[in-house]
Structure 1
Amino acid sequence: MAFYKRKITVSDKAVTNAANLTLRQSLIPNLLVTILFFLWGFAYGLLDVLNSHFQQALDITASKSSGLQAAYFGAYFLCPLTISGWILRKYGFRVTFMTGLAVLAVGCLLFWPSGVKKSFGGFCGSMFVVGAGLSTLETAADPFLAICGPPRYSEVRLNLAQSVQGVGTFVAPLLASRVFFAHTLDTDAGLKNVQWVYLGVACFVGLLIILFFLAPFPEITDADMTQQESDITEGAIDPGPLRKQYNLFLGVFSQFCYVGAQVAVAGFFINFCLESGRTAAESSDLLAVAQGLYAANRFIASGLMMLKPFKPRYMLATYLFLCFVFSVAAMNTSGTASIALLILVFCFESCCFATIFTLALRGLGRHTKSGGAMLVAAISGGTVFPPMMGAVVTNRNAHIALAIPMMGYILAWAFPLYVNFFNRDMVDLHRDTDLNVGTKMVGEKDVEVEEQRHSSEKRIEAGEANEVEQGKKE
């Protein structure tokens, strides 16, 4: 069949082999999606450095420079709950990936005229389009990694992908300090280099669009997730209407607060270092060190979660609490000690995002795609916290401003408290299941899948009918 006649979409009511992929079978599609995480890390890491340098290059205050974060993460609030979430449910993962990559390429190209005009508003607009593309990609990528393969290793898969993202976040500030804004380059030359970098990213993204179109790619549907949930719970238990998924909603709240705190700390890390007696170049290097340790600790956390005693709910509660402890310590010290303590905050942020995401998706069944879109939209917390911190940095100092992310860590801790004390049986059931851990090939399951197709479609239709009926009664 000609490539332009290939069918690349699947009905959400169809049962496919994708829900039955073993660890070995899911390796290639997961690796393909993991490539995208490097793009996120690079864009995010470069954003933190641009935030600081734009304050000098464009003569703006710290609070105004936070407009970059507001533009970037504002797209996360709009897209997953509207267009990208709809594309995922209507056309599936492959089309959503290709759409997100196309929008990302456009956003990267917009950096060129913004750099020529030295327009901060233009940079904010470009960053919004980049955020729209990345949020569309993440609407598909995070849920895909959480559900493609054995449920037992959901947290491990997403944390490993996030580790690759951390590598991109580590490379970006290092590249910025050595190339874009090196001592030998003036501000104009540095901005011109940024233009060329984003042009290169746009070309690379164009190649990825072709790759995602041509590569064999499993489509996991709502019917697949209904079947998988039934297999895990050993019964056809419907999760109920979306409005009653309290584990999800608390996870969304926690993700919003945590991401807001994380973005605020990274966005004003250089200001914090400058205040502690470091130069701009040294501060950028220290940011690279912090992001490098952040990425390395994600690999460590992923390895720990492979071991039975290190349950994801324990890891999340511990790491998030230590973020709060070391942010308080960094606030109340000065000089090198305060920088070291703030770097420790980066270390313990490492596994929080991915673990919140996967724990909040547990037990959603046919609501998994909708839940994933909500959790991606929660990344928009990065729009709220940095401007608040920027205002305090402008009017007081960066040490006092750490009270803003500290508050975010406290609020985010509500979710690990809930899953450890009120919902631990459900999350542990998904953690301990042996479903798809074996090496049975998909071909051996074809007969079983064919038999499950009709029953899964009926369960979905029955669940939707119950929601409509309950809505009428209420």
Structure 2
Amino acid sequence: MANTKPGLFRTADGKNYLWPFVLVTSLFFLWGLAHSILDVLNKHFQETMDGVGKTESALVQAVMYGGYFVMALPAGQIIKRYGYRAGVITGLLLYGIGALLFIPGGQLLSFPFFLFSLFVIGCGLTCLETSANPYVTVLGNAEGAARRINLSQSFNGLGWIVGPLIGGHFAFAVGADKGSIAIPYAIIGVVVLCVALVFAQVKLPEVQADGVAQTESAHATDSLWQHRNFVYGLIALFLYVAAQTGINSFFINYVTEHASVSNVNASLLLGFGGMGLFMVGRMGGSWLMLRVRAERVLLYCAVGATLAMAVLLSGAGVAGVAAFMLCYLCESIMFPTIFALALKGVGQYTKRASSFLIMSIVGGAIAPVLMGLIADHASMAMAFIVPLCCFVVIAAYAARFARKA
């Protein structure tokens, strides 16, 4: 007789989804790498292209995250009609093609062409995240959804570590020319397309959320918006991605201006220090949620991140670097936890809800531009008022959940 006891990777009907979980979790590393290398591109383009200041360089994030807004609903339709695997393969193909476009971009040395390449990558990442994030939440018992997505996002954190190290090595190497950034993207493009071939050969099971059929009614959208936890989660996720992207975009600028750190050392500090703690936080968060409810962990982390931003506003040197490290540790669990809480109870509307949640990642397109404007017209330190405000709202969102628990 089959074991029907629910577990982290086992549903109530006795099905074990450990292998699909492992396979899909590998994708989290790939999009973490794509996002974190952007933080090197900001400073690289400022120094290698005429007319590109802090505000203009923020377009790097704007076009990438703009792809999320444009592609989120189409990605959801692909997944709804053809399944999670189709969404994954579509995302990997777009990601790989966008990365390979950096090869001609390195010859053209055109900032708009680089932006177009990043937009294509952003569309690919949208498909990947729309597929993988909700998928891992249903690969086991409902109570373990937040733990599973935090565990998967730990490997996303590994990608965030590797990105600045690879990008910094090529972009800031002594004697490097303007086209050197094409080399890491060419390698990434080839690897991603190879992974797409692997997924084309395997089958991923279509899993029902909490045993509820995935068929949606004609009024699914209206019903979805009646879930307050989803609506508030959508706002919180928008603000979290805005805060995270703004912080990452100007980390190198801040520490080079206020802590007298070189570009190369700043990229190493971002990779090993900030992103290292980011990964540790996600792994530790999955363990901590065995003992403390996810919404309480989110509340404590949001308060810690708010305090860290307050220190950065002072323009502190070494203390500012320490504040960054605290922030990376605190924000590590925010995206997966908010995502899981927002999907809690939506049942048959999981795929549609996921599309809207991924669309909210467009917050990453807005915050860097706003922070760049503040930095150019006031100071780099003052620009961090933007993520501070975001974390305050996230803390309020978490407090609401904590009171209901």
Q: What's the TM-score, normalizing by structure 1?
A: 0.78
Residue among 86, 90, 102 paired with 2:81? 90
Q: 1:110-158 deviations in whole A, cap 9, x for unaligned?
A: 1112221111111111000000000111001000011111222111111
> Does structure 1 residue 352 correspond to structure 2 residue 334?
yes
Match of residue 372 from structure 2: 390
The residue that corresponds to 1:163 in the other structure is 154
Shift, 1:266, TM fit: 0.6
The answer to whether the 8 A contact 2:91-2:127 is kept is: yes
CA distance in structure 1 between the partners assigned to 2:394 and 2:297 by the alignment: 14
User: In structure 2, how many angstroms separate the alpha carbons of the residues matched to 1:195 and 1:351?
Assistant: 32
Q: Give structure 1 stretches of 5+ with no counterpart.
A: 1-17, 228-237, 425-474
Query: For residue 27 of structure 1, what is the aligned residue in structure 2?
Result: 18
* Aligned length, in residue pairs: 389
Equivalent pair of 1:19/1:220 in contact (CA under 8 Å)? no
SS at match of 1:332: coil
Q: 2:285 maps to what in 1?
A: 301
- In structure 2, what is the equivalent of residue 71 of structure 1? 63
CA displacement at 1:223 relative to structure 2: 9.0
Cross-structure match for 2:53:
61
SS in 2 for 1:380: helix
Q: Which runs of 5 or more structure 2 residues have no equivalent in the other structure?
A: 1-9, 215-219
CA contact (8 A) 2:278 2:329 kept: yes
Aligned counterpart, 1:367? 349
Per-residue CA distance 1:244-293 (angstroms, 9 max, x = gap): 11110110000001110110001000010011121111211211111111
Question: What is the distance in 1 between the residues matched to 2:114 and 2:222?
Answer: 44
Distance of 2:49 and 2:337 partners within structure 1: 38
In the TM superposition, what is the alpha-carbon distance from 1:180 to its structure 2 partner? 3.9
Aligned 1:312-331 pairs, distance under 5 A: 312-331=294-313
The superposition leaves residues 157-199 of structure 1 with CA deviations (integer Å, 9 ceiling, x where unpaired) of: 111111111111111112233344222x3233xx33x222222
What is the identity, as a one-letter code, of the residue corresponding to 2:194?
Answer: L
Partners of 2:354 and 2:197 in 1: how far apart? 25
The whole-number CA distance in structure 2 between the counterparts of 1:178 and 1:221 is 44
3-state SS in 1 of match to 2:288:
helix
Q: CA deviation at 1:109?
A: 1.6
Alpha-carbon distance in 2 for matches of 1:358, 1:175: 31
Shift of 1:400: 0.8
Cα distance per residue 1:72-128 (max 9 Å; x no partner) = 0001111112x1011111111011111111111211121112221111111111000
Tell me if structure 1 keeps the 8 A contact 2:85–2:203.
Answer: no
Residue 111 of structure 1 corresponds to which residue in structure 2?
A: 102
* Corresponding letter in the other structure for 1:303: W
State the 1:224 CA deviation.
4.0
Match of 1:292 among 272, 276, 300: 276
CA contact (8 A) 2:36 2:161 kept: yes
Asked if structure 2 preserves the Cα contact closer than 8 Å seen for 1:79 and 1:135, the reply is yes
Where 2:203 maps in the other structure, the secondary structure is: coil
- How does 1:200-279 map onto structure 2 within 5 Å? 200-221=187-208, 224-226=211-213, 241-276=223-258, 277-279=260-262
Structure 1 letter corresponding to 2:202: A
CA distance in 2, matches of 1:20, 1:116: 55
Q: Supply the distance in 1 between the matched residues of 2:254 and 2:314 (Cα, whole angstroms).
A: 13
**Helix, strand or coil for the counterpart of 2:44?**
helix
Cross-structure match for 2:388: 406
Say whether the 8 Å CA contact 1:22–1:150 is kept in structure 2.
no
Q: Deviations over 1:47-96 (max 9, x none)?
A: 00111111001131000000010000001111112x10111111110111
State the shift of 1:226 in Å.
4.5
CA contact (8 A) 1:254 1:414 kept: no
Partner-residue secondary structure (3-state), 2:357: helix
> Which one of the candidate residues 30, 34, 49 is aligned to 1:39?
30
Deviation at 1:316, TM superposition (A): 0.7
Indicate the SS of the match to 1:50. Answer: helix
Secondary structure at 1:187 match in 2: coil
Native 8 Å contact 2:138 2:209 kept in 1: no
Q: Is the CA contact 1:222–1:369 (under 8 Å) kept in the aligned structure 2?
A: no
Q: Which amino acid counterpart does residue 56 of structure 2 have in structure 1? A: K
Asked whether the 8 Å contact 1:153–1:306 carries over to 2, the reply is no
Change (3 A) 1:181 1:239: closer
Give the fraction of aligned pairs with identical amino acids, expressed as a percent.
32
Q: TM-score, normalised by structure 2?
A: 0.91
Decide whether the 8 Å contact of 2:138 with 2:208 is kept in 1: no
Partner in structure 1 of residue 293 of structure 2 = 311
Is structure 2 residue 138 aligned with structure 1 residue 147? yes
Q: How far did residue 239 of structure 1 move?
A: 12
Residue 225 of structure 1 aligns to a residue in which SS? coil
Larger radius of gyration: 1
Q: Is the 8 A contact 1:222 1:367 kept in 2?
A: no
Distance 2:14 2:140 in 1: 5
Which of 93, 100, 121 is the aligned partner of 2:112? 121
Match of 1:181 among 162, 167, 172: 172
CA distance in structure 2 between the aligned counterparts of 1:130 and 1:239, rounded to whole angstroms: 28
Contact 2:59–2:369 (8 Å) recurs in 1: yes
The 1:22–1:36 alpha-carbon spacing in structure 2 relative to 1, beyond 3 Å, is farther
Give the 3 Å change call, closer, same or farther, for CA 21–318 of structure 1 in structure 2: farther
**4+ runs deviating over 3 angstroms:** 18-23, 221-227
